[in-house]
Amino acid sequence: MFGEDDLVRQHKGRADLIGNIIILCFLVILARLWYLQVFQGELFHKFSIENRLRPEVIKAPRGMIFSRNSQLLTDNIPRFDAIIVPQYLKNRTVTLKKLAQVLSMTEKNIKATLKKNRGQARYRPVTIKKNISLKEVSIIETENSKMPGVRVNTFISREYRDGNAGAHLLGYISEINQRQLPRYRKRDSYDYKLGDFIGQAGIEEKFDLQLRGDDGYEFVEVDARGRMRRNIRSNKLFPGIENKPVKPGNNIRLTIDRDMQMSAFKALEEKVGSAVAVDIKTGEILAMVSRPAFDPTNFSKGLTKEYWNSLVQDERNPLRDRSIQEHYAPGSTFKTFTAIAALEEKIVSAEQELKCGGTYRLGRRVYHDWRRGGHGLTNVYKALRRSVDVYFYQIGVQLDIDDLARYAKMFGFGEKTGISLSREIPGLIPTREWKLKKSGEEWQLGETLSCVIGQSFVLATPLQLAMAYATIANGGTLLRPYLIKEIFSNSGEIIERYEPKEVGKIKVSPKNLRAVQKGLYQVANHPRGTAYWYRGKGLKMAGKTGTAQVRSMSKKELFARCEEMPYKDRHHGIFVGYIPFDNPKIAVSAVVEHGCHGSSAAAPVVRDIATTYMKKYYPNEYKKNVEAQNKEYVRQLREKKRKQEALERTKKEEEIIEQGPAFQMGG
């Protein structure tokens, strides 16, 4: 190690150089300090005593939401809050007393609010009263000098023109909370601040970043009492200072039709449930409603505790969007897919008739048909139109559950549809593997029998049902449902346009698909179809009723009158269909919780929505269909009458023959 001394000494030149560089750097720093503190010092000093430089935030107006026909669905309404900036608060007792008087509050309340916010920076405003009246605003503004530190804060509340009708779909906005702050900052890489209003559900949440725009700010000089002096555009003290212009939020045009949304909302009045209407060719959602709903406007106005509690304590959970956040056993509406699986797997052919009594026995268990006496000989058409349980039990024992699952998944069951809304759930299509994983038990054949009629494990959301039937209607293309047609800026420039998107094609022969379509048509158009009486006029509706048991029931309960059971035990009523049968345009699903029957509870909802659609978009076709239906009805009536007359005539003749010549005399 000796002798390294020289080596170190070789580096002396560099060491000295480094020393010089250090001196140079600190000279620059000292020069800068001299410039700031001595050369400009007096200016800065004066400024720091007399003035404060404050950035005044200019809130970006939130983008608007329009219906597909460009009707405005939202509004931004200015509202006012009374605030105190603690930094500028002077003559505390007098000011607070006066303010309490103006706002008709107690001083104690105001003090408590101030105390609660003591931890934050003193230049941060503290909200004393939300939503004050214009009169209160004008008093505070004019008496400003007597209440230093008190100000009026203007903010924009978000109002929803159709109120509850769009509650879940559009969502609502409210103030961001502490917990959300870091999460949202990360998600959007946007610098949210406390006090910012953000979308908390629905479209408002998912497209918050588009709708919110970007707040601007302008630097203002304020005096020691916090009053504004002037805007600072350019200032010799602060050459680098720049104001930031506000950027308004972008607007969104939905695929939703306002009239259909309203008619769906009305059709579900006083009910608990959901309805979804989709365009079968594009996957555009035309209506999407969940009830009970809430008033989204309330949230941005400053939610009252009472209203919030009334929502949270309601056991029907009005905040949940039942169209995507709730799944139901689809009941008989699922038989359609069982039929497709059975036909494809060649377990039966369409015309093949099976004998269907009132029960089906598997081992020791007896499976009942909904109709005590059964239905007699049944092919697939009759099985669908009459919803013959025993027919499906018979094909069910031959159908592997994994095969059924494969077909169901082709139609989008068991997976999220991928709609651009948060908290969508995937529903459930059971498989052997799933069961094994979940309970560690093997699949039982008896469970297949429950699944083929859409009970037990099978679960689907109303949106999934609509999409699955849309797939049947359009000939086998599973689409991704979407809600947004386009996003456009305030100047009308299109920022993003959404196009239909195919998720997959089903692998089902056209022949079998047609057979099922025919069965679905008969459900609403065959006089013995389960939804015949709710088929509406001029719709040419095809569809399927479903009645889902809420829990397993004994035989006695099974045949009890649903309406007489306790509310919680009543069946869910489901109907899914598409119109018109020969040239399908839209598919509609409806679920009515505890509505007892798919036919009487849910089918009318679908009928109303479909009628609104046809009347609005195809008035001529609708009129023609109504006339044709009327004519057909008259024809049927006449034929019935003729048949009856003919029957009576032959009866009479028979009687005459039986009674012999006695009457002949009188004739």
Which residue among 38, 134, 662, 665 contacts another protein (CB under 8 A)? 38
Strand order in the sheet with 52-58: 52-58, 216-222, 228-231
| CB 123 to another protein: min, Å | 7
Q: How many residues bind another protein (CB under 8 A)?
A: 59
Q: What whole-number distance in Å separates Cα of residue 158 and Cα of residue 174?
A: 9
Q: Which of 478, 463, 500 is nearest to 588 (CA)?
A: 463
Among 117-125, 421-429, 490-498, 656-664, the segment contacting another protein (CB under 8 A): 117-125
- Our CA angle for 208, 214, 219, nearest 5°, is 150
Which residue among 227, 244, 518, 615 contacts another protein (CB under 8 A)? 244
Q: What whole-number distance in Å separates Cα of residue 127 and Cα of residue 117?
A: 9
Which tokens hold the place of 110? 């105001």
Task: Verify binding: residue 23, another protein, rule CB under 8 A.
Answer: yes
Which residue among 77, 94, 228, 241 contacts another protein (CB under 8 A)? 241
Task: Verify binding: residue 223, another protein, rule CB under 8 A.
Answer: no
Task: Verify binding: residue 14, another protein, rule CB under 8 A.
Answer: yes
Which residue among 5, 499, 564, 658 contacts another protein (CB under 8 A)? 5
Which residue, 71 or 87, has its beta carbon nearer to another protein? 87
| CB 242 to another protein: min, Å | 6
Which residue among 2, 134, 442, 662 contacts another protein (CB under 8 A)? 2
Torsion angles phi and psi, residue 277, rounded to 5: -120, 130
Task: Verify binding: residue 633, another protein, rule CB under 8 A.
Answer: no
Which residue, 54 or 518, has its beta carbon nearer to another protein? 54
How many residues comprise the chain? 667
Instruction: List all residues 6 or more positions away from 532 whose beta carbon is below 8 Å from its beta carbon.
Output: 523, 524, 525, 526
Cα–Cα separations (whole angstroms), residue 490 to 122, 212, 218, 224, 501: 36, 12, 21, 39, 27
Which residue, 23 or 425, has its beta carbon nearer to another protein? 23
Which residue, 123 or 533, has its beta carbon nearer to another protein? 123
| CB 44 to another protein: min, Å | 3
CB 480 within 8 A of CB 418: yes
Per-position DSSP letters for 304-324, written without gaps between them = -HHHHHHHHH-TT-TTS-TTT
Among 15-23, 133-141, 153-161, 403-411, the segment contacting another protein (CB under 8 A): 15-23
CB 423 within 8 A of CB 463: no
Pick out residues in 472-511 that bind another protein (CB under 8 A).
none
Instruction: List all residues 6 or more positions away from 550 whose beta carbon is below 8 Å from its beta carbon.
Output: 568, 569, 570, 571, 572, 594
Task: Verify binding: residue 57, another protein, rule CB under 8 A.
Answer: yes
| CB 215 to another protein: min, Å | 9
Q: Identify residue 207 by its one-letter amino acid code.
A: F
Task: Verify binding: residue 665, another protein, rule CB under 8 A.
Answer: no
Q: For 124-163, b where at least 16 C-beta lie within 10 A, e where not — what string?
A: ebbbbbbebeeebbebbeeebeebbbbbbbebbbbbbbbe
Task: Verify binding: residue 55, another protein, rule CB under 8 A.
Answer: yes
Task: Verify binding: residue 551, another protein, rule CB under 8 A.
Answer: no
DSSP-based three-state secondary structure for 495? strand
Q: What whole-number distance in Å separates Cα of residue 580 and Cα of residue 626?
A: 12
Q: What whole-number distance in Å separates Cα of residue 604 and Cα of residue 269?
A: 12
Instruction: List all residues 6 or more positions away from 283 whose beta carbon is below 8 Å from its beta carbon.
Output: 467, 470, 479, 480, 481, 482, 500, 501
Task: Verify binding: residue 36, another protein, rule CB under 8 A.
Answer: yes
Among 22-30, 290-298, 532-540, 597-605, the segment contacting another protein (CB under 8 A): 22-30
| CB 108 to another protein: min, Å | 21
DSSP-based three-state secondary structure for 147? coil
Which tokens hold the place of 64? 């608007």
| CB 220 to another protein: min, Å | 12
Residue whose entry in the numeric block shows the structure tokens 């002037």: 230
DSSP-based three-state secondary structure for 554? coil
Task: Verify binding: residue 19, another protein, rule CB under 8 A.
Answer: yes
Among 239-247, 255-263, 373-381, 573-581, the segment contacting another protein (CB under 8 A): 239-247
Pick out residues in 265-294 that bind another protein (CB under 8 A).
none
| CB 80 to another protein: min, Å | 23
Which positions from 138 to 177 touch another protein by CB under 8 A, shown as an x/- string?
----------------------------------------
Which residue, 224 or 637, has its beta carbon nearer to another protein? 224
Q: For 423-455, b where at least 16 C-beta lie within 10 A, e where not — what string?
A: ebebbebbbeebbeeeeeeebeebbbbbbbbbb
Q: For 4-17, b where at least 16 C-beta lie within 10 A, e where not — what string?
A: eeeeeeeeeeeeee
Task: Verify binding: residue 245, another protein, rule CB under 8 A.
Answer: no
Torsion angles phi and psi, residue 225, rounded to 5: -95, 5
Pick out residues in 73-112 that bind another protein (CB under 8 A).
87
Task: Verify binding: residue 33, another protein, rule CB under 8 A.
Answer: yes
191 exposure class (CB count in 10 Å sphere: 0-12, 13-18, 19+)? exposed
Task: Verify binding: residue 123, another protein, rule CB under 8 A.
Answer: yes
Residue whose entry in the numeric block shows the structure tokens 């379509």: 517
| CB 239 to another protein: min, Å | 10
Task: Verify binding: residue 349, another protein, rule CB under 8 A.
Answer: no
- Our CA angle for 502, 506, 509, nearest 5°, is 140
Which residue, 123 or 633, has its beta carbon nearer to another protein? 123
Which residue among 78, 93, 104, 118 contacts another protein (CB under 8 A)? 118
Which positions from 181 to 220 touch another protein by CB under 8 A, shown as an x/- string?
-x--xx--x-x-x-----------------------x---
Task: Verify binding: residue 228, another protein, rule CB under 8 A.
Answer: no
Which residue among 188, 223, 242, 653 contacts another protein (CB under 8 A)? 242
Task: Report CA 387 to chain centroid distance, whole Å.
Answer: 31
| CB 86 to another protein: min, Å | 9
Task: Verify binding: residue 662, another protein, rule CB under 8 A.
Answer: no
Which positions from 309 to 348 touch another protein by CB under 8 A, shown as an x/- string?
----------------------------------------
Which residue among 42, 582, 632, 655 contacts another protein (CB under 8 A)? 42
- Facing residues of 590 across strands? 275, 575
Cα–Cα separations (whole angstroms), residue 237 to 47, 52, 221, 282, 661: 10, 13, 12, 60, 128
| CB 42 to another protein: min, Å | 7
| CB 614 to another protein: min, Å | 48
Note the residues at the interface with another protein (CB under 8 A). Answer: 1-2, 4-5, 7-12, 14-15, 17-19, 22-23, 25-26, 28-30, 32-34, 36-38, 40-45, 47-49, 52-53, 55, 57, 87, 118-119, 121-123, 182, 185-186, 189, 191, 193, 217, 238, 240-242, 244
